[in-house]
A and B are shown apart, each in its own frame.
Chain A
Amino acid sequence: MDFEIRDSRPIWQQLAQQLRQRIVTGVYPAGGRFPPVRELAAEAGVNPNTMQRALGQLEADGLLITNRTLGRSVTEEVQVLEGMRRQLAQERVEEYFADMKTLGYSRGEAAALVEEGRRGENEQ
């Protein structure tokens, strides 16, 4: 999974979002060492100061723990990780509803379509 800067939002926010995804999906395992800023910046092809800002946000989220001597590591707190996973899921649900609204579907109708899709999958 590569970093992608696709839209007009601030670059650091897009990086933070993609790093959250990597953390909750275990690309960087809980309690494990987190790569240094310069390494991540080089991988993403972005300015190190911008990557630094994204990591600052992840620290504020509680996903990253900074130790003066050991550098950064991913939190071991399952609750924090699970909470973030849930938050990312909810954001996508909201995106889905917003997208369906442009097609003229209400939230109820959009939810019914999801249920229909789930049943269809079960039948296969």
Chain B
Amino acid sequence: MSSELVTCKDLWLSYGTVTALSGVNLTLAAGRIVGLLGPNGSGKTTLIKLLNGLIQPTSGTVTIQGLTPGPKTKAQVSYLPDRPYFADWMKVGDMLDFFEDFYLDFRRDKAEEMCGRLGLKKNVRIRTLSKGTLEKLQLVLVMSRRSQLYLLDEPIAGVDPAARDFILRTILTNYNEDGTVLLSTHLISDVEQVLDEVVFLQEGHVILHDNVDAIREREGKSVDALFREKFRMGGQGGKDNVW
């Protein structure tokens, strides 16, 4: 099908003796907002890094629009890492220049407008920004690209509810409608209503992949409630604790 954007086939990844992904099969269609959900250590970040070409699979394949992650896919994939990655001596304006230089699909006018709404001046140094403001700035830059795939690793972790609201609205109003957003989080109740579908990861396996409303219809409970149930009661296997 031409609407398939992401395909993972029997994807395995081991870090030495630790297996992070154990045979993941996953297809994501274009034009969707997808939640990648799972407890800490379930493989969310690993999967996102594989889609981004930052690490290579131990076995199996991952493709984006039929291509193995590399320079060609990176031009169409917008990535928000799970930790700050901007050089702290740079200024907000430097970051805008940097993104404009680097990505053909960067919409500078959009980024400037959103920075304006956040009250972020171009001559402010990254170092002086609070954690929440820095996360918002990173998200603004990432969402200002017109990409096929947005990979957002924990975009709402560690920020206050108002910042969370800003971030979710920024995602909703700026993503490319023909593209797909894959967003990892463990704060499900906050994001449930922005998602089309969810992927539950547990110990490197995909244990559920379905539409949010299909789950609500079938289970008679929210995805958040289902998640709590699966990972409280289903997590008795010894490996569940990452330490």
Binding site for B on A (CB under 8 A): 5, 8-12, 38, 41-42, 44-50, 53
Contact = CB atoms under 8 A, between A and B. Distances in A.
Interface of B: 31-33, 165, 168-169, 172-173, 177, 192-196, 212-213, 216-217, 220-222, 225
B119 to A, nearest CB: 21
A121 to B, nearest CB: 38
B193 A50 contact: yes
Nearest to A44: B193
A47 B225 contact: no
Nearest to A12: B213
Overall SS of chain B's interface: helix
Contacts, number: 48
Contacts of B217: 10
Contact of A8 (B32, B169, B177, B225): B225
Prevailing SS type, chain A contact patch:
helix
Given A8-B221, A8-B225, A45 B216 contact: no
Given A8-B216, A8-B220, A45 B196 contact: no
Contacts of B196: 47, 49-50
B169 A47 contact: no
A15 to B, nearest CB: 9
22 contacts: A8-B216, A10-B217, A11-B192, A11-B212, A11-B216, A38-B173, A41-B172, A42-B172, A42-B173, A44-B193, A45-B165, A45-B172, A46-B172, A46-B193, A47-B33, A47-B172, A47-B194, A48-B172, A48-B177, A49-B32, A50-B213, A53-B213
